Chains A and B, each alone.
Chain A
Amino acid sequence: GIQVEQSPPDLILQEGANSTLRCNFSDSVNNLQWFHQNPWGQLINLFYIPSGTKQNGRLSATTVATERYSLLYISSSQTTDSGVYFCAAARWGAQKLVFGQGTRLTINP
């Protein structure tokens, strides 16, 4: 099955800093999503991005499908950005999303 690896596992930054989170996947996928899990456990879907680039406010994501990686950029970090960021992928038609181990982001004031 698909393997999904995320890096770094932990990231601690000061408020206002920028960050880049990486997701590598082992096989061709046509479903690639980024999620943010807040400290209360809520998983929020940030991007559905099997290829290309998308932006939503201070967050943007790029997936290079041919090279099997995706990047999540967070600019001007705020304390509310803290939590765990998961990348998840699936092949065409597959309903099972395979999650990476996550990147735990801590933004200090």
Chain B
Amino acid sequence: DTEVTQTPKHLVMGMTNKKSLKCEQHMGHRAMYWYKQKAKKPPELMFVYSYEKLSINESVPSRFSPECPNSSLLNLHLHALQPEDSALYLCASSQAAGVGYTFGSGTRLTVV
């Protein structure tokens, strides 16, 4: 299995909703990442988990809450988002040294 699977593919949520994005990989990768991508821009790193521990938080607002329940799963919990948070959210995984980066197909999030 050489894939990173993200669900859902599309999500529309109101500013008072709570939702979660899910990401799963079975490549034995020990680093997992959340990126945010706005239209016509490169992906921007949000969080890095290494060996299931949060190792990088790029000063992301607390309305985004990551969770790594085990080495194969990564969640991003969303609460009280703003319309400007609408974007493509990408999950990725890699070997611990950043080799073999593999991205999921993303969740296209719209906040209304």
B98-A94 in contact (CB<8A): yes
Q: Is B11 located at the chain interface by the 8 A CB criterion? A: no
Known contacts: A42-B106, A86-B42. The answer to whether A93 contacts B101 by CB under 8 A is no
| A44 contact set on B, CB distance < 8 A | 103
| A88 contact set on B, CB distance < 8 A | 101
Say which size band chain B's interface belongs to. 20 to 34
Q: Is B48 located at the chain interface by the 8 A CB criterion? A: yes
B42-A102 in contact (CB<8A): yes
| B55 contact set on A, CB distance < 8 A | 95
Which A residue's beta carbon lies closest to that of B50? A95
B106-A45 in contact (CB<8A): no
Say which size band chain A's interface belongs to. 20 to 34
A44 CB, nearest partner CB in chain B, Å: 8
| B103 contact set on A, CB distance < 8 A | 35, 42-45
| A69 contact set on B, CB distance < 8 A | none
| A100 contact set on B, CB distance < 8 A | 42
Known contacts: A33-B101, A43-B103, A45-B102. The answer to whether A96 contacts B42 by CB under 8 A is no
Partner of A31, one of B33, B50, B99, B108: B99
Q: Is A25 located at the chain interface by the 8 A CB criterion? A: no
Which B residue's beta carbon lies closest to that of A86? B42
Q: Is B43 located at the chain interface by the 8 A CB criterion? A: yes
Which A residue's beta carbon lies closest to that of B90? A43
| B43 contact set on A, CB distance < 8 A | 43, 86, 99
Distance of A100 Cα from B33 Cα, bound (Å) = 18
| A41 contact set on B, CB distance < 8 A | 37, 88, 90, 105-106, 108
